[in-house]
Amino acid sequence: MKKTTYFFNALLILIIALAAGCSPSRTITASGKVTPQGKFKLGYNSAFNVATAPLAEIDDVTKAAVNAVKNRDSIYFEDIASLSQGLLAYSLDPVGTTSEFYLRYGLAPRVDVGYKLASGAHVFDVMYQFLGATGTPSNPGPAGLYGSIGLQYSGQKSDLPSKLGLNVLSSVLNYELSRRDILIPLVFSHSFGPEEEIGNISWGLVYGHSFIKYGFAPSDLFIKYAGNRVEKLNPFTNKQNYSSFGGFLNGKIGYRYAYFVPSVSIYYQNYGTYDFFGIQSKSYKGVTIVPSLGLQLNLGYDNKR
């Protein structure tokens, strides 16, 4: 049993190394000043999601883990229980790198809207500026603190990858997870130069809420009961939702049209309790740190004062 447990724990790590995760976009690079009306911002961020919940330890892994599944005549729930729980933890908040391309447009004097492609997920948001001037470096308003609040929505789906031999495990578990995420950032910033001409420093708080649907539709997965009674497990789906609370700090360094944007966000979340086939349940909670570095371009800004 110890050997089997090792194989499946090792397989979990292999999945983490190879699979695309299913995580909301939580990199906050916004300032308290929204995009001026009629102007555009174009940007790219590279981030690293460091979550404490998915993995406690990382072991050396090989494809022997996949072979352990492939060469067994019958797979029992007790063999894959820890794997299923770890796989779900990873899907909720994967550890790894992410990349984001985004475009923002100033819709009104104090409102801008944005679209982001974040590691394959589509993200939409709107920001409202309730504090500070709404000018441009060419036509600046009075100096002072900026403040804005936003609403972000994203949705995506994750499943077990059918590559590098993992299609074998896909046929055993047929695991899927889909999610919808809402994020509400409250942002304040101090400008460097008129209307952030040289850059800014920004800080604030973030509230998030996630709606999770997950399930397993195993092809040949069994459970043993007392008296050597064996039953085949039926497909299983369940839903859960949880809140996230966090804060962030970012900066924008450059001049007028091009800026480097370093950022770090920290979140705490109690992911809740998740059921597995009505046989076991597992609770998750932890801290997530998201450092990032990006490049932002201002488009359509005036070039004269």
| pLDDT tens, position by position, 218-230 | 877 888 887 778 8
* Residue 301 clears pLDDT 90, i.e. is over it: no
81 versus 70: which is more confidently predicted? 81
Percent of the chain with pLDDT over 90: 50
Phi and psi (nearest 5°) for 66?
-65, -40
Give me the DSSP letters along the chain: -HHHHHHHHHHHHHHHHHS------------SSPPPBT-EEEEEEEEEEEESSS-S------THHHHHHHT-S-EEHHHHHHHHHHHHHHHHS--EEEEEEEEEEEEETTEEEEEEEETTEEEEEEEEEEES---BTTB------EEEEEEEEEEEEEE----TTTHHHHHHH-EEEEEEEEEEEEEEEEEESGGGSSEEEEEEEEEEEEEEEEEE--SSEEEEEGGGEEEEPPPEEEEEEEEEEEEEEEEEEEETTEEEEEEEEEEEEEEEEEEETTTEEEEEEEEEEEEEEEEEEEES--S--
* Residue 15 clears pLDDT 60, i.e. is over it: no
**Average pLDDT across the chain, whole number:** 83
| Residue 173 binned pLDDT confidence (cut-offs 50, 70, 90) | confident
> What number does CATH give the domain 2-21+33-299?
2.40.128
Domain boundaries, the chain: 2-21+33-299
* Residue 242 clears pLDDT 60, i.e. is over it: yes
| pLDDT tens, position by position, 120-131 | 789 999 999 999
| Residue 167 binned pLDDT confidence (cut-offs 50, 70, 90) | low
The pLDDT, as a whole number, for residue 22 is: 63
| Residue 264 binned pLDDT confidence (cut-offs 50, 70, 90) | very high
Q: What is the pTM of this model?
A: 0.85
